[in-house]
């Protein structure tokens, strides 16, 4: 019975728990792309310690992409991997000190999977941390900077 | 964007984040009262396991800006006649029409900007603003945006940045205000317009511009994303209708063959932080199938903008 009450209660609140990461994505996520042009897509949500997310995206050949994952400082490191459609791991940030900004080029157009796993601080702790995580894609701009 | 969660897991997730609603960044929480309620209930262990294992799934379509860049970099030219006429805006009264054409005009806006057609860009941004306002999207495109765009007509990079930001703001506003079906329709409208521009710019030949044909053929991969996005919200009548149309497009794309002819391998340069993914791939489309594809795209796009 109590679980039912909880379900109704939380369904009513789902709307209010959203709407939090737009500012974070604009101010922090986009900034992490540096000189790369943000593609304009919005990929951000609240993730909690231990939570996983996957993002499917087609990477086109002859374009250089920057993948910039941003998280609030309070969250632990994020384990970030890039896999092909068959699950082969093509990049793993564990090997690079959990770097969250990395550039990718593909020799031929491929659909790739960006896999995120928010690590856990301390399993004994009674505290849980959650916060905004954004995944931004940037495209290397043309060399020409200004219209002549 | 698709979040693959059961209602129960969504609820558990919602409870777990309720106490964070007051701020924009990360927060550390004590186990809240709500959580204690959940934990004190004799919940099915499998449900808890599912919650821990649940994954959020996102699908990212090529944005109007990325598609316009692909078209330009493939060596295509500018053709204003292909754009959705500005005067069509008066036809759009339903949410479906407004959402689809916000995507369509965003794609046209990206195309005009990439080709330095600044006056057209300003006019298309004005139309995008009207549709965004009509959908109740607050502050995504405001007077300040229009002014910034006009002040930077000589700086393409800044213009593209403004366009990118307005597209993200519209999408984020809809997604975060419980209107994901509308957000998906905007994305799909933009994707279809990009595909329309690309197919028309080939002048109907698979031989004229092979790089552009290549870009079109590989949209088969993006179509997977489009269908998954639409599937998630197909309980919405408008989305379900669009899914039907996209399904017709899928039937044609199924006749396009894309095969990796070698193993997918990666080479990472830790110094420059670049990973190059190497795989040989082959994509084949016959002139007959391309003709069918072109006609179907035109049919769907005509319906969207009418």
pLDDT tens for each residue of B202-256:
999 999 899 999 999 999 999 999 999 999 999 999 999 999 999 999 999 999 9
Over the stretch B150-171, which tens digit does the pLDDT of each residue have?
Answer: 999 999 999 999 999 999 999 9
Distance from CA of A98 to the nearest CA of B (A): 12
Give the mean model confidence (pLDDT) for residues B92-103: 98
Binary contact (A52, B260; C-beta < 8 A): no
Interface check A41 vs B, CB under 8 A: yes
Say what the pLDDT of residue A101 is.
98
Which chain A positions have a beta carbon within 8 Å of B164's beta carbon?
37-40
Phi, psi of A114, deg, nearest 5: -95, 120
Q: What is the pTM of this model?
A: 0.84
**DSSP bridge pairs for A111:** A58
Distance from CA of A34 to the nearest CA of B (A): 12
Cβ burial B268-280 (10 Å sphere, 16+ → b, else e): beeeeeebbbebe
Please give the Cα distance from A32 to A34 (Å, whole number).
5
SS3 call for B61? coil
Give the mean model confidence (pLDDT) for residues B255-266: 91
What pLDDT band is residue B54 in, cutting at 50, 70 and 90? low
Least confident of A63-72, A125-134, B172-181: A125-134
What pLDDT band is residue B114 in, cutting at 50, 70 and 90? very high
Q: Which residue ranges form the domains of chain A, and what is each CATH number?
A: 17-139 (2.60.120.380)
How many other CB atoms sit within 10 Å of the CB of residue B285? 22
Interface check B279 vs A, CB under 8 A: yes
Interface check A38 vs B, CB under 8 A: yes
Say what the pLDDT of residue B27 is.
36
Q: Is the pLDDT of residue B112 over 60?
A: yes
Q: Is the pLDDT of residue B177 over 70?
A: yes
Q: Is the pLDDT of residue A13 over 50?
A: no
Q: Which of A24, A127, A139 sits opposite B24 (nearest CB)?
A: A24
Q: Which of A42, A146, A147 sits opposite B172 (nearest CB)?
A: A42
Binary contact (B225, A62; C-beta < 8 A): no
Interface check A110 vs B, CB under 8 A: yes
Give the mean model confidence (pLDDT) for residues B87-95: 97
Q: Is the pLDDT of residue B39 over 60?
A: no
ipTM greater than 0.90: no
B contact test, residue of A2, A5, A41 with most B CBs within 10 A: A41
Say what the pLDDT of residue B13 is.
40
Say what the pLDDT of residue A123 is.
66
Identify which has the larger pLDDT, B12 or A101.
A101
| Structure-token pair, residue A17 | 């728990």
Binary contact (B176, A11; C-beta < 8 A): no
Please give the Cα distance from A115 to A68 (Å, whole number).
13
Sign of the alpha-carbon torsion through B48, B50, A133, A118 = positive
**Number of residues that make up chain B:** 306
Binary contact (B161, A37; C-beta < 8 A): yes
Say what the pLDDT of residue B18 is.
37
Question: Could you tell me where the beta strands, DSSP code E, fall in chain B?
Answer: 27-29, 55-60, 257-260, 265-269, 274-278, 281-284
Q: Name the average pLDDT for chain A.
A: 84
Identify which has the larger pLDDT, B287 or A14.
B287
User: Alpha carbon of B157 to those of A35, A68, A142: distances in Å?
Assistant: 10, 19, 9
Say what the pLDDT of residue A144 is.
58
Percent of chain B beyond pLDDT 90? 77
Please give the Cα distance from B141 to B167 (Å, whole number).
9
List B residues 206-265 in contact with A (Cβ-Cβ < 8 A).
214-215, 218, 221-222, 224-225, 228, 260, 264-265
Which chain A positions have a beta carbon within 8 Å of B29's beta carbon?
127-130
Q: Is the pLDDT of residue A62 over 80?
A: yes
Q: Is the pLDDT of residue B35 over 50?
A: no
């Amino acid at each position: 019975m109590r679980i039912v009450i909880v379900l109704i209660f939380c369904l009513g609140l789902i709307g209010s728990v959203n709407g939090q990461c737009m500012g974070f994505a604009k101010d922090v996520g986009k900034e992490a792309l540096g000189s790369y042009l943000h593609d304009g897509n919005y990929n951000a949500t609240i993730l909690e310690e231990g939570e996983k997310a996957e993002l499917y995206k087609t990477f086109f050949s002859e374009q250089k992409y920057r993948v910039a994952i941003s998280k609030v400082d309070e969250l632990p490191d994020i384990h970030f991997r890039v896999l092909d459609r068959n699950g082969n791991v093509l990049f793993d940030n564990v090997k690079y000190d959990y770097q969250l900004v990395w550039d990718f080029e593909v020799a031929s157009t491929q659909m790739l999977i960006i896999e995120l796993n928010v690590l856990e601080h301390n399993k004994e702790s009674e505290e849980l941390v959650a916060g905004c995580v954004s995944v931004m894609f940037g495209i290397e701009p043309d060399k020409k900077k200004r219209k002549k | 964007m698709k979040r693959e969660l059961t209602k129960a897991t969504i609820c558990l997730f919602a409870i777990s984040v309720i106490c964070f609603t007051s701020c924009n960044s990360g927060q550390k929480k004590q186990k809240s009262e709500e959580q204690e309620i959940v934990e004190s209930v004799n919940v099915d262990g499998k449900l808890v396991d599912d919650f821990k294992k649940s994954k959020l799934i996102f699908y990212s379509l090529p944005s109007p800006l990325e598609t316009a860049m692909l078209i330009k970099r493939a060596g295509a030219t500018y053709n204003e006649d292909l754009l959705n006429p500005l005067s069509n805006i008066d036809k759009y009264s339903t949410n479906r029409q407004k959402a689809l054409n916000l995507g369509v005009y965003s794609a046209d806006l990206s195309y005009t900007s990439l080709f330095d057609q600044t006056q057209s860009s300003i006019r298309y941004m004005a139309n995008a603003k009207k549709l965004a306002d009509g959908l109740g999207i607050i502050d995504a495109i405001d007077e300040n945006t229009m002014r910034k765009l006009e002040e930077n007509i000589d700086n393409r990079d800044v213009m593209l940045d403004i366009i990118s930001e307005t597209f993200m703001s519209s999408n984020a506003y809809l997604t975060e205000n419980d209107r994901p079906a509308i957000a998906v329709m905007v994305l799909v409208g933009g994707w279809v317009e990009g595909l329309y521009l690309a197919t028309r710019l080939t002048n109907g030949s698979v031989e004229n511009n092979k790089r552009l044909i290549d870009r079109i053929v590989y949209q088969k991969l993006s179509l997977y994303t489009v269908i998954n996005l639409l599937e998630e919200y197909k309980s919405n009548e408008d989305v379900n209708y669009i899914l039907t149309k996209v399904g017709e497009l899928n039937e044609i794309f199924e006749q396009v063959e894309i095969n990796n002819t070698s193993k997918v391998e990666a080479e990472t340069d830790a110094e420059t932080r670049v990973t190059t993914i190497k795989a040989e791939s082959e994509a084949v489309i016959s002139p007959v199938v391309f003709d069918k594809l072109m006609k179907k795209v035109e049919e769907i796009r005509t319906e969207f903008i009418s």
